[in-house]
Structure 1
């Protein structure tokens, strides 16, 4: 936040201070700016860095209070920061840097948006976001269908139509179609309210597609049950973990599984130097790493009835007592959880039998 005089004058006039982005603190800041106007005879300008949606209500607040607001592009302040030899980032230095960028350049005032324009912009962006999610979901759905029922797409032009989804819900695999009677398939098609000939043609097409499909449907039958026996690992998390790991026999040891998840420490050596403070590699499956992290947090969380997983909780507290930061302790506990998962999947024994 800077005022429209000179950068040196600003620093001499008032030391940098922080405030929360709440109505009360912002109102107090307006009072300070009003006092500054009385002392100098000039209306201060509010200068800030753009921070997406976070800065929009603050900009509107000061505009409504009658102040000229200038919003700087972060690229402009970043260019100023690169001029510094030392890499330093503090709130006072950032405020001074924003002031320097403002005074050394010509900037136009941020114009207030009309309410209906802001609302229309928000709705358009929301629509675009939902549409992107919808398209991505369709693509993922198509990729799964290519494995389970490869020829299904030849029967329905629109895979996400109500009729196509209803058929898949009732007959998700080629074997399900081939095991059903013609009447069962036709009854499933009837809500489409088409002609009798259409029902017959679609049924013939589905049977033909089922016969010509070569599905890939290797399932992990009992793994979900034993994995869900771990306190803190819910059904959705267990499903994600199994989907990412696949056949546990692919991994000769738990060490390889930990590396696959990217939770193993990275190695940094150069000559005789060997770093002892290394971050995790993050070279493996991000989906598996996220699922393991979530299960770990769920397991060690201290609830009213106690933590879900005492083994993980005890291990986590031991790391904390060793002086590890909380996040480092969670990562170490995630590593232990993954080793437990390896033992459970390899032995096909539930969690209670391994304790």
Structure 2
């Protein structure tokens, strides 16, 4: 039997990394700081365990803002890194009947998953995409703050509290200026990079897709050419259908999988609503689904998925949206 490659599982937190090195079925543990110095210390420690770095597999869960900087730092030191959906690690732990949970146990579980499953190496997004994603995240945060303040403004207006109304209105005005500046920065970021600009123009040609949705898709997904098919992209975004049927007794309702990034699904919802009424292709598609008795939310979910297919088609082909051509294909596709 072939000897398994050494595997490193890392449980990432804000200030430290809990590390488990799995070699020949034995686990060795270590904790280092979540910093460049900590990454270097980890590399030296792995080498001291007589592990060849080129043969070592490193795996961690996707933990938002914390996992990507760690992966970039370790890649820069020559380590092969995989970032895995936490649901996969959780499912693997359930298959092993793991009952306890702490940072060290989680790191060892991730190492065992890495050794058994050999996840694909993580590829860092280009710097221009990472910056665009950061700008979009900040824009959403500013808009959320503005909505909160506008809700408070309404509440204080009802209570006739003019002093606080004025204070909140000043903050809303400042947020409006920051949102406008952030939108300008996003447009500038896209326009300064030919690849982003090309894909943005193609996606914007689809009725129902606006600049905000285009920016989120480019920031979160990046180059759509890396996906083998539109179905693969839809699955990545979590807009694919998930069935729950087994034998004769289980007849669950088909729902959206929701396994991908929430930001992209949120960005697709309103465009799907608009497209179901104003996009000549997707309006026909939505009307047919409604005529078949599909609930309103399910229709919107199906239109979201179809929008993803159309975006993939225009980007991969390099040809702007053509309703006459796409209408024939959509009519022939099942829901």
Report the TM-score, using the length of structure 1 for normalisation. Answer: 0.39
Give 1 or 2: higher strand fraction: 2
